[in-house]
Structure 1
């Protein structure tokens, strides 16, 4: 593996980390208590804070994904172009419990503003997004239980386009790994080939710009989810242990940041925590950047798995 500053400094002064048995959330050992080999921490998903989206993956699962990605990337024998030529088509699927805004029937204006947010947030990455279609479905079961069997049903029925197209679903309650609620979910690029109908990003309807989910109502939940859909991990993936989130220019972070904790520094490696990164879990107003390394990883991931060049 190429020895970057990130990987070199990760080898000294390490803080031991632990992996939760609950799906993929990683927390520093200093914040955890153990029982029968399990690590549990309130820092992963605080009871009074909803999870931004998918948690971190167990290290072994992330390593297996990366191995497959690197093999495919090497087999391709050519690097993707620096910028995507065409906008990514976006199919928005509004799932509501009734036809009122409070019941989840978000307006066309909010959808338009969400696309504006995506285009602004991904502006330095070479990617852009264009609304292709909007569907509206009134289904209370899908709206209030947007996971598991319900998610399988509505993604299978509603999904449009192919691997290169983004399907964005809005609904309400999304259970989080710790039994609370999450603001969104996303599939990863490599998953599309095995289960194409499940591919996409889901967000709580009230997180769209102008929604009621303050401080998460500026549209950054979708930005975070689309980043994952394009191959990025959370910035706290791997905690303080190499290789972290597999991006060289994002500082290590022991656990998710909430709010906007300036100068937070949870790992001994150089650099304060990337609390302003779209792939952390801070408030929407705190999030403002993808790094150049993240942009490159997204280009490589979607070129390899989604055919976006």
Structure 2
């Protein structure tokens, strides 16, 4: 999903306002996030994801967010851990074939928990779309919409070429925790609002290591960062700055009563 510079600035202002209003709210070092997975499938079996693959997706999240894919010193343990709390299964051809058309109904019927519960919907998505997510700032105004939607074939062992190791989930959960794409705002300040991710003119495709799309600015493009568009096999890490930003969003919007 793409966020306009204006929307990104609005989200940033709301984050700073929320942190200022809740200045005594503790930012903890480790957080366990309950995960409710909602499998939307067709009557002919398409999209029917097994319990094993669901657990493998949660395992990928845990490994990614604890820094287990990082090479050398490039990444960090974010402190976020994920625990599967429930799996629901809905067989509905209409919902499966056109999730976006029915998504308000789907999410109002299936969503569980409060702002601290990660709801993941697996289904068929059109036009090559891998997934999308809401942001923490959206919860207070639209709690039923909160969550992550991912194409069922992007889970570990899926059939989506180049994107079947589970990192669509990793990426979209990053948005759910408040992160923008590494290429947000291109080569222009403030970029993705994270100091230790180099500026990047546009999304990466494949794994173009060594690319420098903003040569006048420090650092090579962060093509191996989970918040890029690189192939799953290319993605390895979050940065310390991203870790701090996710912790801020959790403290401001997800650790207690919903705040606007």
What is the TM-score of this pair, normalised by structure 1? Answer: 0.77
Contact 1:115 1:131 in 2 (8 A): yes
Separation of aligned partners in 2, 1:99 and 1:137: 13
User: Over the residues paired in the alignment, what is the CA RMSD in angstroms?
Assistant: 1.2
Separation of aligned partners in 2, 1:82 and 1:76: 14
Query: 4+ residue stretches of structure 1 with deviation over 6 A?
Result: none
The 5 A counterparts of 1:136-155 are 136-147=89-100, 149-155=101-107
Give how far 1:84 is off: 2.6
Separation of aligned partners in 2, 1:67 and 1:246: 11
Instruction: Find the counterpart in structure 2 of residue 233 from structure 1.
Output: 180
The 5 A counterparts of 1:123-202 are 123=66, 124-147=77-100, 149-174=101-126, 180-202=127-149
Number of positions where the alignment pairs a residue of Structure 1 with one of Structure 2: 245
Give the secondary-structure state (helix, strand or coil) at the position aligned to 1:182.
coil
Q: Larger Rg: 1 or 2?
A: 1
The 5 A counterparts of 1:24-63 are 54-55=1-2, 57-63=3-9
Contact 1:237 1:245 in 2 (8 A): yes
Give how far 1:99 is off: 5.8
Give the secondary-structure state (helix, strand or coil) at the position aligned to 1:285.
helix
Instruction: Find the counterpart in structure 1 of residue 244 from structure 2.
Output: 296
Residue 71 (1) aligns with residue 25 (2) = no
Contact 2:183 2:201 in 1 (8 A): yes
Which runs of 5 or more residues in structure 2 are unaligned?
A: 67-76
Separation of aligned partners in 2, 1:80 and 1:298: 13
Residue 281 (1) aligns with residue 238 (2) = no
Separation of aligned partners in 1, 2:116 and 2:203: 29
What is the TM-score of this pair, normalised by structure 2? Answer: 0.91
Contact 1:80 1:299 in 2 (8 A): no
Contact 1:98 1:138 in 2 (8 A): yes
Contact 2:36 2:84 in 1 (8 A): yes
Separation of aligned partners in 2, 1:82 and 1:250: 23
Separation of aligned partners in 2, 1:265 and 1:127: 30
